[in-house]
Amino acid sequence: MPLFPEVNELNSQSLSDNTPHFRSALSYFQVLYLALEHIQKKVSMVLRRLLRKRWVLGVVFGLSLIYFLTSTLKQEERTIRDRTLLEARDSDHHIQWKVKFLLGNSSRQISQCRNSIQGKSLLTDELGYVCERKDLLVNGCCNVNAPSSSQHVCKSCLSNGCCSIYEYCVSCCLQPDKQPLLEHFLNRAAEGFQNLFTAVEDHFELCLAKCRTSSQSVQHENTYRNPQAKYCYGESPPELLPI
């Protein structure tokens, strides 16, 4: 079916209907400019005198300096965000981790819990309780009284800090006595983990992130080093098993 001949006209109509929207920006500018011209004509002579006063110049300079500084700082912030894995090559380099460990009050009362979300049947909440999905409360915490839930469990975890079940790895990692281990890890974390572990903010996030399988978990890229115990809170990668 051919286009209607009227369409073109029609479109020009609807186009012009909308011009006020974006014209407003232009006119704003123009008006500003006109106003400036106006000021220039009428007040320039007076201002010229005013401008000779040093403090006025100082203020103008100061304001522009502040503007300049803020805008450059903003840009810097941006480049900081663009982190590259390989930026820091030196071995002394420590990643700037900002993890806040909350010590000794793991039994604190909180109204809302984050939890490990992903589990097929198990979940770990941020207090370190592992429970079955059906025992999860509306606020995201495990029901402490449920028979299935228990705190800081290291079930399925080996001595090298690698577990076969992710949720237990997180729970185990949340044990307060794991803090030195985690700090040590953070201080020596591989460059490849810089992005991840500088973005981590607290103990729970750290454990969630640390227990996930990562580049350290594989051999020949497409095979787990140890398909059984692959979730590690500890520093060492999973034990290397022959294929």
Residue numbers 158-187 binding other proteins by CB under 8 A: none
Closest distance to other proteins from the beta carbon of 1 (Å):
8
Residue numbers 15-44 binding other proteins by CB under 8 A: 15-33, 36, 40, 43-44
Among 11, 70, 96, 105, binds other proteins (CB under 8 A): 11
Residue among 181 and 209 whose Cβ is closer to other proteins = 209
Closest distance to other proteins from the beta carbon of 180 (Å):
23
Q: Do 207 and 193 contact (CB within 8 A), yes or no?
A: no
Among 156, 213, 235, 239, binds other proteins (CB under 8 A): 213
Number of residues that bind other proteins (CB under 8 A): 89
Among 54, 81, 104, 177, binds other proteins (CB under 8 A): 81
Q: From residue 185, how far is each of 105, 191, 234, 237 by CA, in Å?
A: 23, 12, 8, 12
Residue among 79 and 91 whose Cβ is closer to other proteins = 79
Closest distance to other proteins from the beta carbon of 239 (Å):
16
Residue numbers 100-159 binding other proteins by CB under 8 A: 117-121, 133-138, 143, 146
User: Would you state the structure tokens that stand for residue 152, as one six-digit string?
Assistant: 């800081």
Taking the C-alpha atoms of residue 34 and residue 36, their distance in angstroms, rounded to an integer, is 5
Closest distance to other proteins from the beta carbon of 67 (Å):
8
Lookup result for tokens 């805008």? 71
Residue among 15 and 91 whose Cβ is closer to other proteins = 15
The residues, any chain, with a CB within 8 Å of residue 88's CB and separated by 6 or more, are 95, 191, 194
Phi then psi for 128, rounded to 5 degrees? Answer: 95, 5
Residue among 4 and 177 whose Cβ is closer to other proteins = 4
Among 14, 91, 109, 159, binds other proteins (CB under 8 A): 14
Counting contacts by CB under 8 A, is residue 96 touching other proteins?
no
Taking the C-alpha atoms of residue 89 and residue 77, their distance in angstroms, rounded to an integer, is 21
Closest distance to other proteins from the beta carbon of 176 (Å):
22
The neighbour count for residue 26, using CB atoms within 10 Å, is 10
The residues, any chain, with a CB within 8 Å of residue 115's CB and separated by 6 or more, are 123, 124, 125, 126, 136, 140, 141, 142
Helix (H) or strand (E) segment spanning residue 77: helix 54-81
